[in-house]
Amino acid sequence: MNLPFQIDLKNKVIVITGAGGVICAGFAKAVAQCGAKVALLDLNKKAADVVAEEINAAGGTAIGIECNVIDVPSIEKARKEVTEKLGACDILINGAGGNNPKGSTTKDYLFKEDILNKQEGVKTFFDLDPKGIEFVFNLNFLGTLLPTQAFVKDMIGKEDATIINISSMNAFTPLTRIPAYSGAKAAVSNFTQWLAVHLSKVGIRVNAIAPGFFITNQNKSLLVNEDGNYTDRAHKILNATPMGRFGEMEELLGTLLWLLSSKASSFVNGVVVPVDGGFSAYSGV
């Protein structure tokens, strides 16, 4: 992996949740290349192990750990394993998250006929599953808050201790169809600001990255048809992105490394940085 610039993370223990996914796997490889010892936490341990093996094969230090970020005993078990095998956490990257169809509508807009002449397969706002919404909110918001509660205990008083949360474009302006995910990511952005203030006296900076649109394992089926062409929804996104393309994972690394470096961003605290090709700046006209 070619990094945009190098920072010194030698002997730092970095915990990354959701580390089996495309973006956080890339984050893990980048920080390992900068000398960090990396704990890759994921509900899917096999996915985390694959990334850890790649890092170790390249000369880095990494371990995969199974962790359910909305289950406190699971998080505490992971914390114990991290401490025993790598040492206490210095930096936490909260990358776990995602959406669920039960918290989404099937159409952008509600029309009268959707109510008067209910059609099979059409899910309106009134059909949203409360349990589905709860799952999405918990995964994204509690899945950020609970690991932070656990690992911050080890970070207090450490030099250059930092937390990076992963927000979303949805936190700025919600996309159609996905109210649960949009609301949850807005909560993550708000929590980032709150936590930055709360932890400011114990030497821990807290910031967030809000990626624009990147094709990942989670969203690929929504953005790319089986024939390889973009879906209608993908074209809507591209039309609203001034740069006219999806981002590449590597394009997030400069922002990540900048926020992790105390030399570069020591007075940056409580911000949510969009990396979005201009999406959040574009009004549509």
> 138: which residues sit within 8 A by CB, 6+ positions away?
70
**Is 181 annotated as catalytic?**
yes
Catalytic residue from among 109, 181, 230, 282:
181
How many Å apart are CA 204 and CA 190, to the nearest integer? 17
Question: Which of 184, 191, 209, 179 shows the shortest CA–CA distance to 280?
Answer: 209
Beta-ladder partners of 273: 209
* Cα angle value 3/247/257 (rounded, 5°): 30
With DSSP H G I counted as helix, E B as strand and the rest as coil, what are the percentages for the chain, rounded to 5?
A: 45, 15, 40
CA distance readout (Å), 22 to 152, 214, 270: 25, 9, 25
* Residue reference for tokens 């949360």: 165
Contact assessment for residue 72 and residue 143, using Cβ atoms and an 8 Å cutoff: no
Residues taking part in catalysis: 181
